[in-house]
């Protein structure tokens, strides 16, 4: 939990990506340490919370895991509105899901705030033999678009914690300590909706 | 039928033979979380109290069955299937006193629950599925299934992807037979209405229909009448516009029926659609325990889509005091999720839904939908244009 004098960051995080890329599995692995081979498809969205404690800050994540099917995209703005971080997921064994991921990135760049911390996640790294998207290709695209790139496997748990720790670190960096004390006046509360820090 | 029936019957029979779970004193003392199978074979997690509630529900279901049988003995077999009663005409303009009385009895009876044994017959008739089926040749479903066999479309690929992910672990649904039956229903429907094709969420709805209806073909017709007649148009088509309309209507109703909650959630910047979208698209099958969901569907098929509003409002209303104490979006969601997952007693929910929410006529709701449509269309159109402008920039 929060260390004394440590700042607390409340951050909304949204997961976007094509259906079956493993968004829910990523979150479940991170939040509960669980993995199910046949994870039920998410309808609308599912909500999770998790707290990460870093040396520089304690990050409280409000995680919105969204439905992947294309027609559900019309609901997405409701979920990414006010997000501090976005995780765009694709499946390394499906080129189509990478193309869809790029579309999400484009939409977020237009819609999200300019401080949005974005991660491009190549999930299902355990499916190496059927890989369709090369690491270089993903890395290059991420770099061009100011995101960080990471290859994960919700199944084996590879890099799952690293992904969320990296996001937490970036959020902490983007949210420097303020000398002001915890003063929950209206101004701060309004800002809270985006993401806030108070130290 | 289709060689899938026997196994399912066995599974259902097997369930009915499972002895009533009696929580041991040890379990009670430790207040352990227990896993148990509910009336339709779903594994649920709950505490000892939940097990007790579920046992009471089983008993109530039996009692309600006896009420139906007694009425049948009194009024004649299938009295509730007489068209003037089943189509609700009598409630609007009574032709005969006895018909009106029967219609009122039926409405009350259905709100108290249709016995699982009668559900296939009563749903099929009261929902209009029987009528829909009667307008096409007898062999329609078989012909359709045969004609689409082996065809591959984006919809069939998505369906195949979701089959093992639909209620995984269920003793019948999660078997090769269960998958095959669900596949035929969903694929068949995706060809019947290519505007809908396949929409995620329908997998859960169709799966539950399969469990209730005796045959795969009847499940198909129930799905058809649901999407084509019972629910608002375009709930599941390409941009879910119908669903967007329902969400807006729901928000207005919450302001009207539960003003204190609506004001509080507004202050928290909590949009009720964040949770209610799943409720409306899965018709509660993903959030409520199975018998509770089916009790909602009992009323849904007789009284129409306004029932979904009653139930959604009731979930909020039941937890009004707790919700008013929340300070954070996460707390609101946790309360709602915990509530829906533990609603093992359908009467707890339906009493609030119909006695405490106040009446809403289908007519008023239709008017509100009409009012919201232009705003939804404008919003979706704007979004589409924005996305298209992204594409143009690429060139």
CB–CB contact A69 B329 (8 Å): no
Q: Name the CATH topology of B118-217.
A: Helicase, Ruva Protein; domain 3 (1.10.8)
Task: Report, in angstroms and rounded to the nearest whole number, the Rg of chain B calculated over CA atoms.
Answer: 22
To probe the interface with B, which of A41, A78, A109 has the most B CB atoms within 10 Å? Answer: A41
Is the Cα dihedral B376, B379, B383, B384 positive or negative?
A: positive
Q: What is the pLDDT of residues B291-340, one digit of tens each?
A: 999 999 999 999 999 999 999 999 999 999 999 999 999 999 999 999 99
Higher pLDDT, B102 or B148: B148
Residues 6+ apart with CB under 8 A from B62: none
Neighbours of B30 (CB within 10 A): 11
Q: Is B271 within 8 Å of chain A by CB?
A: yes
Q: How far apart are the C-alpha atoms of B208 and B251, rounded to whole Å?
A: 28
Which 8-state DSSP code applies to residue B39?
Answer: T
Q: Please choose, from the candidates A70, A65, A45, the residue with its C-alpha nearest in 3D space to the C-alpha of residue B199.
A: A70
pLDDT at B91: 56
Instruction: Map tokens 């008017």 to a residue.
Output: B367
Coil, strand or helix at B46: strand
Cβ-Cβ contacts under 8 Å between A and B: the total is 81
Q: Name the CATH topology of B241-394.
A: Cyclin A; domain 1 (1.10.472)
DSSP B229-240: IISPTTSSSTT-
Angle at B162 between CA B156 and CA B164, to 5 degrees: 120
Structure tokens at B219: 């499940």
To probe the interface with A, which of B164, B165, B272, B381 has the most A CB atoms within 10 Å? Answer: B165
Please tell me the least confidently modeled range out of A17-26, A176-185, B245-254, B263-272.
A176-185
CB–CB contact B390 A110 (8 Å): yes
Q: How far apart are the C-alpha atoms of A90 and B248, rounded to whole Å?
A: 32
Q: Where in chain B is the domain with CATH 1.10.8.270?
A: 118-217
CB–CB contact B278 A45 (8 Å): yes
Q: Quick one: closest CA in A to B282, which residue?
A: A43
Nearest CB to A44; choose among B164, B167, B281: B281
Task: Enumerate the residues of chain B whose CB falls inside 8 A of the CB of residue A41.
Answer: 162, 165-166, 200, 203
Coil, strand or helix at B173: coil
Q: What is the pLDDT of residues A119-134, one digit of tens each?
A: 999 999 999 999 999 9
Average pLDDT of chain B, as a whole number: 89
Higher pLDDT, B388 or A41: A41
Judged against a pLDDT cut of 60, whether residue B395 lies above it is answered with no
pLDDT at A184: 42
Residues 6+ apart with CB under 8 A from A136: none
Structure tokens at B262: 């609506």
Residues 6+ apart with CB under 8 A from B210: B173, B178, B181, B182, B185, B216, B219
Q: Is A72 within 8 Å of chain B by CB?
A: yes
The whole-angstrom distance between B108's CA and the closest CA on chain A is 32
Task: Enumerate the residues of chain A whose CB falls inside 8 A of the CB of residue B378.
Answer: none
Please report the domains of chain A, with CATH numbers, ordered by start residue: 7-174 (3.40.50.300)
To probe the interface with A, which of B274, B337, B389 has the most A CB atoms within 10 Å? Answer: B274
Kindly provide the ipTM of the predicted complex, given to two decimals. Answer: 0.86
CB-CB contact of A80 with A15 (8 Å) = no
pLDDT at A197: 45
Residues 6+ apart with CB under 8 A from A12: A62, A64, A82, A83, A84, A85, A195
CB–CB contact B278 A36 (8 Å): no
Q: Please choose, from the candidates B238, B212, B209, the residue with its C-alpha nearest in 3D space to the C-alpha of residue B224.
A: B209
Give this prediction's pTM: 0.89
Structure tokens at A180: 């002001």
The whole-angstrom distance between B87's CA and the closest CA on chain A is 32
Q: How far apart are the C-alpha atoms of B17 and A61, rounded to whole Å?
A: 46
Please compute, for residue A48, the number of CA atoms within 13 A of its CA located in the half-sphere on the CB side.
21
Judged against a pLDDT cut of 70, whether residue B30 lies above it is answered with no
End-to-end CA distance of chain A: 14
Judged against a pLDDT cut of 50, whether residue A56 lies above it is answered with yes
Judged against a pLDDT cut of 80, whether residue B85 lies above it is answered with no
- Phi and psi torsions of B5, nearest 5°: -65, -50
Task: Assign A43 a pLDDT band (cuts: 50, 70, 90).
Answer: very high
Strand partners, A158: A153
The whole-angstrom distance between A62's CA and the closest CA on chain B is 7
Q: How far apart are the C-alpha atoms of B246 and B273, rounded to whole Å?
A: 10
Q: Where in chain B is the domain with CATH 1.10.472.80?
A: 241-394
Q: How far apart are the C-alpha atoms of B253 and B364, rounded to whole Å?
A: 11
Task: Enumerate the residues of chain B whose CB falls inside 8 A of the CB of residue A20.
Answer: 161
Give the mean pLDDT of B150-159. Answer: 96
Average pLDDT of chain A, as a whole number: 88
The whole-angstrom distance between B210's CA and the closest CA on chain A is 18
Q: Please choose, from the candidates B181, B221, B218, B225, the residue with its C-alpha nearest in 3D space to the C-alpha of residue B203.
A: B181
CB-CB contact of A97 with A21 (8 Å) = yes
Residues 6+ apart with CB under 8 A from B33: B45, B46, B47
Task: Enumerate the residues of chain A whose CB falls inside 8 A of the CB of residue B45.
Answer: none
Q: What percentage of chain B reaches a pLDDT higher than 70? A: 88
Task: Assign A182 a pLDDT band (cuts: 50, 70, 90).
Answer: very low
The DSSP bridge pattern shows strands A85-91 and A117-123 to be parallel
Q: What is the pLDDT of residues B92-147, one digit of tens each?
A: 555 677 788 888 889 999 999 999 999 999 999 999 999 999 999 999 999 999 99
CB–CB contact B383 A43 (8 Å): no
Coil, strand or helix at B246: helix
Q: Quick one: closest CA in B to A46, which residue?
A: B275
CB–CB contact A69 B383 (8 Å): no
Q: What percentage of chain B reaches a pLDDT higher than 90? A: 72
pLDDT at A4: 54
Higher pLDDT, B358 or B350: B350
Q: Please choose, from the candidates B81, B103, B80, B79, the residue with its C-alpha nearest in 3D space to the C-alpha of residue B91.
A: B103
């Amino acid at each position: 939990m929060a260390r004394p004098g440590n700042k607390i960051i409340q951050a909304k995080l949204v997961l976007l990506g094509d259906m079956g890329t493993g968004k829910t599995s990523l979150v479940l692995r991170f939040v509960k340490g669980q993995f199910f081979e046949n994870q039920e498809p998410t309808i609308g969205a599912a909500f999770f919370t998790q707290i990460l404690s870093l040396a520089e800050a304690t990050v409280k994540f409000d995680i919105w895991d969204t439905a992947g099917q294309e027609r559900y995209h019309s609901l997405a703005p409701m979920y990414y509105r006010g997000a501090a971080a976005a995780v765009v997921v694709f499946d390394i064994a499906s080129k189509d899901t990478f193309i869809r991921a790029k579309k999400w990135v484009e939409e977020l760049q237009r819609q999200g705030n300019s401080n949005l911390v974005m991660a491009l996640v190549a999930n299902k790294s355990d499916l190496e033999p059927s890989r369709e998207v090369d690491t270089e290709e993903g890395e290059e695209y991420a770099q061009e678009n100011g995101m960080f790139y990471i290859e994960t496997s919700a199944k084996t748990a590879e890099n799952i914690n690293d992904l969320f720790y990296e996001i937490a670190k970036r959020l902490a960096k983007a949210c420097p300590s303020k000398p002001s004390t915890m003063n929950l006046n209206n101004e701060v509360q309004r800002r809270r909706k985006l993401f806030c820090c108070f130290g | 039928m289709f060689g899938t029936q026997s196994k399912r019957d066995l599974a259902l029979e097997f369930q009915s033979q499972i002895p009533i779970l009696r929580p041991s004193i040890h379990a009670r003392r430790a207040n352990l979380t227990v896993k148990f199978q509910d009336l339709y074979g779903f594994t649920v997690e709950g505490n000892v109290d939940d097990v007790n509630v579920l046992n009471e529900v089983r008993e109530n279901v039996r009692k309600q069955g006896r009420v139906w049988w007694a009425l049948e003995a009194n009024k004649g077999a299938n009295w509730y299937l007489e068209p003037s009663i089943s189509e609700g005409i009598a409630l609007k303009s009574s032709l005969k006193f006895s018909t009106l009385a029967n219609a009122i009895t039926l409405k009350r009876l259905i709100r108290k629950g249709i016995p699982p044994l009668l559900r296939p017959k009563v749903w099929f008739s009261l929902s209009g599925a029987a009528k829909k089926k009667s307008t096409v040749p007898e062999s329609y479903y078989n012909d359709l299934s045969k004609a689409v066999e082996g065809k591959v479309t984006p919809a069939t690929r998505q369906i195949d992807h979701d089959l093992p992910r639909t209620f995984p672990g269920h003793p019948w649904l999660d078997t090769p037979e269960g998958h095959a039956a669900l596949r035929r229903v969903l694929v068949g429907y995706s060809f019947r209405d290519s505007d809908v094709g396949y929409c995620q969420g329908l997998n859960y709805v169709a799966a539950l229909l399969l469990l209730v209806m005796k045959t795969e073909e009847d499940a198909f017709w129930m799905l058809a009448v649901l999407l084509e007649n019972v629910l608002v148009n375009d709930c599941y088509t390409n941009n879910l516009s119908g669903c967007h309309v329902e969400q807006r209507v729901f928000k207005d109703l919450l302001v009207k029926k539960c003003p204190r909650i609506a004001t509080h959630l507004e202050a928290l910047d909590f949009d009720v659609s964040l949770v209610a979208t799943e409720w409306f698209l899965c018709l509660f099958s993903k959030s409520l325990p199975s018998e509770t969901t089916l009790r909602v569907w009992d009323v849904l098929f007789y009284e129409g889509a306004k029932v979904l509003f009653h139930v959604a409002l009731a979930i909020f209303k039941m937890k009004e005091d707790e919700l008013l104490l929340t300070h954070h979006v996460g707390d609101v969601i946790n309360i709602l999720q915990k509530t829906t997952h533990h609603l093992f007693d359908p009467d707890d929910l339906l009493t609030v839904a119909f006695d405490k929410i106040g009446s809403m006529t289908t007519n008023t709701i239709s008017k509100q939908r009409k009012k919201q449509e232009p705003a939804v269309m404008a919003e979706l159109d704007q979004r589409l244009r924005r996305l298209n402008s992204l594409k143009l920039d690429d060139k």
